[in-house]
Structure 1
């Protein structure tokens, strides 16, 4: 993996999101920028992280919606239409504690069965960090403010609201682990 996968991921995400969901595309670009920034903590997985960050919300594209659950729809699209790298597809499928939202949607069996969680904690945490420190418009934010924004946008009684309340402690812990890894890097 390298520059080619990052270019491919950008082309796919831009094609699927920029015209129909410009705000989602702006968020995606911001998440990818965060991935470039934190990539040094991962060494050889920088390209994979950037590609996953770029593609994490591709399942929102209207033409890709099948279940209405964007991690699953996006991962299936990447696997079935692009034969994408398995690790990349599994990261997209499971980004930002998607299994917890899958439970709320009664899709956990499908998500976990098709796309098992990657056993690479720092890589998984880094994608959570990138997603949860980026606003819908692509700007930098704190994980606390991002969770509050999601709760406000969807409402606490919605599927997403229930999910984000359950996931918040895990999200904050992931962000803290990445921030600690970043602080430990020599300057």
Structure 2
């Protein structure tokens, strides 16, 4: 895949997010930077990780927000308007334990049937790592600080607050697994 898919993803994400949602665009750029930094643990899937990191929040774009659930809206947009690679679309649809949030929104069956989870644990974990170690402004953070920031922004009793509290142990475990994979890389 490599540079071609990465450039394609960057063009789409920039077109959909940079003007309409500049802060979301800053976050997206930071997530893509993290992906480039950790991509060596994925070998041939490095470009796929970077592309999915770049496109993971495209569903927030106002013109794409059909259901109001950005993983589902983004995945449908990539599939329907761009005929994107199935693995890429499934990563976007399921990023950062989206099935748990889909359940809170009454969309679990819809998401799961349209976009089944990938059975590629390190790739899935790497996308979680990139998203959950990046601030809303694109800076670096810890997963614990990121979860706290999300809770502070949305509130404990909101749909997102309930989801992130449920997902937090899984998020922290995914981040630890990626950190272990990175530590095991030859220097």
TM above 0.5: yes
**Number of equivalent positions:** 187
Partner of residue 154, structure 1: 154
Partner of residue 143, structure 2: 143
User: Partners of 1:51 and 1:110 in 2: how far apart?
Assistant: 24
User: Partners of 1:69 and 1:53 in 2: how far apart?
Assistant: 17
RMSD: 0.3
Unaligned runs of at least 5 residues, structure 1 = none
The answer to whether structure 1 residue 113 and structure 2 residue 113 are counterparts is yes
Partner of residue 55, structure 2: 55
Partner of residue 124, structure 1: 124
Partner of residue 66, structure 1: 66
The answer to whether structure 1 residue 22 and structure 2 residue 11 are counterparts is no
User: Partners of 2:79 and 2:153 in 1: how far apart?
Assistant: 30
Partner of residue 179, structure 2: 179
User: Partners of 1:147 and 1:156 in 2: how far apart?
Assistant: 11
Per the TM alignment, residue 133 of structure 1 is displaced from its structure 2 partner at its CA by 0.1
Q: Secondary structure of 1:135's partner?
A: coil
Partner of residue 91, structure 1: 91
Partner of residue 79, structure 1: 79
Q: Secondary structure of 2:186's partner?
A: coil
User: Partners of 1:165 and 1:21 in 2: how far apart?
Assistant: 26
Partner of residue 133, structure 1: 133
Q: Secondary structure of 1:185's partner?
A: coil
Unaligned runs of at least 5 residues, structure 2 = none
Deviations, residues 74-120 of structure 1 (Å, cap 9, x unaligned): 00000000000000000000000000000000000100000000000
| Length-normalised TM-score, structure 2 | 1.00
Question: After the TM superposition, which parts of structure 1 deviate over 2 Å for at least 4 consecutive aligned residues?
Answer: none
Q: Secondary structure of 2:135's partner?
A: coil
